[in-house]
Amino acid sequence: MSVSIVFAVGCARDARPTGPGTGPVGKGTVYSGPGGEVVSVVPLLPPEDHKFLIHLQVPGDDYDGKVLLHTATPDGMEFWARWRGRNMRLFQERKSSGRKTGDFMVLALLKDDLIHLTPDSARTAALKSEDVQELYLRQLADGTLARGEAFDTPFWSKDHDRSLTEAAKALNTSCGSQVVAAITWDALPRKLLEDGEPIGSYCAEPLEALKRLCDESEEARRTVQAKIKRLDCRAGERFGGRFDADTVVWSIAPGMDRPGPEQTAQFFMDSL
């Protein structure tokens, strides 16, 4: 039995992959948060390469359980990794006047928020850096990391849809209306999504302008209730809107000048 085990381990070592993340590792540090978050940071050697394997255990988040290869900034305060097709700063230490603060944070991607962490001495003492690396190698071999690093159109579009839905909900609460808002993705170049443009925020601006009008005027509330049933957001040559029956067709044009809140509100006051 012992001979078989030694033989199997030997074969596994012979087949061990090479490349980023596969070399020798140093002693890692573990950070923990108030909601059960645990982030294990393992340096790859030599340290001057600024490469790290980070095991992200953030319950409920998109990357929970993954070990991602990170590149740190020279000051060791920001850690960047590829996820869902974008380079993202998933782990960092807060700066104050360019200095370290001891306040560590992990990005809660699905909530677009930061979770504060503190060094966990007990978990750090128990951490085996090789275990983190082995998990990374398994996820690398079975395609988990390749799938996670690829650009994910549904993932990012869902994030923008959520922003617009929240703005429509706030509008309907203020106006007593039942406006339905949607992004017409077929009418938006994929490049806008890939470039990380805040599409959801752009599309929400007319809803936010209408909400403010309703907050200030009972007449605005009655008008929105009677005349607007839908907002359709799409790409155009410039920012602006037009009416198609009871639908607001709102165009966005990242890179072009866009109207401020007062101008957007004036569009509705002139058009309704």
For tokens 């992959």, what's the residue? 17
Domain extent, residue 49, equals 19-149
What pLDDT shows up at residue 2? 35
Question: Which of 105, 133, 149 is the last residue in one of the domains?
Answer: 149
Helices and strands, counts by H and E, the chain = 9, 12
- The model's confidence at residue 16, banded by pLDDT at 50, 70 and 90, is low
pLDDT digits (tens, 9 = 90+) for 215-236: 999 999 999 999 999 999 999 9
- Together in a domain, 198 and 102: no
Question: Which of 149, 181, 214 is the last residue in one of the domains?
Answer: 149
Q: What is the pTM of this model?
A: 0.74
Backbone torsions φ then ψ of 9, nearest 5 degrees: -65, -40
Question: Which of 104, 124, 149 is the last residue in one of the domains?
Answer: 149
- Residue 98's identity, in one-letter code, is G
Number of folded domains that form the chain: 2
Domain assignment present for residue 231? The answer is yes
Domain assignment present for residue 10? The answer is no
- Together in a domain, 69 and 41: yes
Q: What's the token pair of residue 170?
A: 């706030």
Percent above pLDDT 70 for the chain: 93
Q: CB–CB of 161/154 below 8 Å? A: no
pLDDT digits (tens, 9 = 90+) for 157-198: 998 999 999 999 999 999 999 999 999 999 999 899 988 899
Domain assignment present for residue 6? The answer is no
Q: What's the token pair of residue 5?
A: 């085990």
| Closest by CA position to 232, among listed 162, 168, 184 | 184
d(CA 246, CA 249): 10
Q: Is 102 helix (H, G, I), strand (E, B) or coil?
A: strand
What pLDDT shows up at residue 9? 36
Give the helix/strand (H/E) hosting 101.
Answer: strand 99-108
